[in-house]
Structure 1
Amino acid sequence: MAFDLPPIAKAAERLLVEIEQAVRAFPRCHKYVIGKDLREQAMLVVRLCHRAWRDRSQQARWTAELVWAIDELRLTVQLGSRIKAFRSFAQFEQLIRLVEDLGRQAGGWKRQQQQHLKGQNPAREAAPERAQILSTCAASTGANA
């Protein structure tokens, strides 16, 4: 199947490669715990990007999951920095910038889909109108007497 990936999927794949290279350089004590989590979370982000791109009928669902997965990955990268798992602060900084860029793209994609959904059926979002009163003034006073 030949198709052009959107920029967000390419960015997710690049992030996965960078995380893989960073984890290879982790000290042994971090490689098999936080390193494993980083690898799995980055792979999940790539998979969700591809699902959101290819499964158009469920795109809003996959995009929402993608936003959460990126947020969780960001938290894990930050934790890795706090426990000094990365080779240097520069390596952490490079990864966190990639994660934040990916998060901005996913957030924009999600907002775009929400606007698209709202635009398809604006009547659904509108408040229901009040029913018209068809009685006359005389009918109202007669009922109250």
Structure 2
Amino acid sequence: MYQWLNKNFPIWRDAEKLMLEVEQAVRHFPRYHKYTLGSELRQLATQSINQKEMRTSWVKRLQIYIEELKLKIQLAKSVQAFRAFAEFQSLVELAVSVARQAHHWYKKL
């Protein structure tokens, strides 16, 4: 595994926090959504912090996963899977933050 990404970097910290908040939000999804949409959200959030690749590849892949994750979060909101709007809002803000950071990293690389 490449150890180029310091876990104290804001992008790593925010991606890890996003993964944790997705896990916590999915716990409260209705049963119907927990095992379908919830599983997809968990998988995307987890894949977004996998750093087994070179920097450029990882950042590009992160951008793709985060965009897909944002769509799934929006879908979860549309089907009223979140127990509160604040959960949705927190996830969206983190996802946007990670996406923005990934975009800036990619431009620098």
Fold agreement, TM-score > 0.5: yes
Structure 1 residue ranges, 4+ long, deviating more than 2 angstroms after superposition: none
The answer on 1:43 being equivalent to 2:39 is no
Quote the offset at 1:19 in angstroms: 0.5
Quote the offset at 1:65 in angstroms: 1.2
The answer on 1:78 being equivalent to 2:74 is yes
The answer on 1:19 being equivalent to 2:22 is yes
Structure 2: which amino acid aligns with 1:30?
Answer: H
- In structure 1, the residue matched to 2:86 is 90
Quote the offset at 1:4 in angstroms: 3.7
Query: Aligned-residue CA RMSD in angstroms?
Result: 1.5
Structure 2: which amino acid aligns with 1:91?
Answer: E
User: What SS is found at the alignment partner of 1:85?
Assistant: coil
Q: Deviations over 1:101-120 (max 9, x none)?
A: 0100000000111xxxxxxx
Structure 1: which amino acid aligns with 2:19?
Answer: L
Quote the offset at 1:91 in angstroms: 1.0
Listed as ranges, the matches of 1:59-138 within 5 Å are: 59-113=55-109
Q: Deviations over 1:67-113 (max 9, x none)?
A: 11110111100110001000111110111001000100000000111
**What number of residue pairs does the alignment pair up?**
105
Taking the aligned partners of 2:35 and 2:24, their CA distance within structure 1 comes to: 14
Among 12, 23, 37, the residue aligned to 1:34: 37
| Identity level (%) | 39
Higher RCO (CA < 8 A, seq sep 6+): 2
- Gaps spanning 5+ residues in structure 2: where? none
Taking the aligned partners of 2:87 and 2:95, their CA distance within structure 1 comes to: 13
Taking the aligned partners of 2:81 and 2:36, their CA distance within structure 1 comes to: 11
Structure 1: which amino acid aligns with 2:93?
Answer: R
User: What SS is found at the alignment partner of 1:98?
Assistant: helix
TM-score normalised by L of structure 1: 0.68
- In structure 1, the residue matched to 2:10 is 7
- Gaps spanning 5+ residues in structure 1: where? 114-145
Taking the aligned partners of 1:105 and 1:12, their CA distance within structure 2 comes to: 10
Quote the offset at 1:46 in angstroms: 1.2
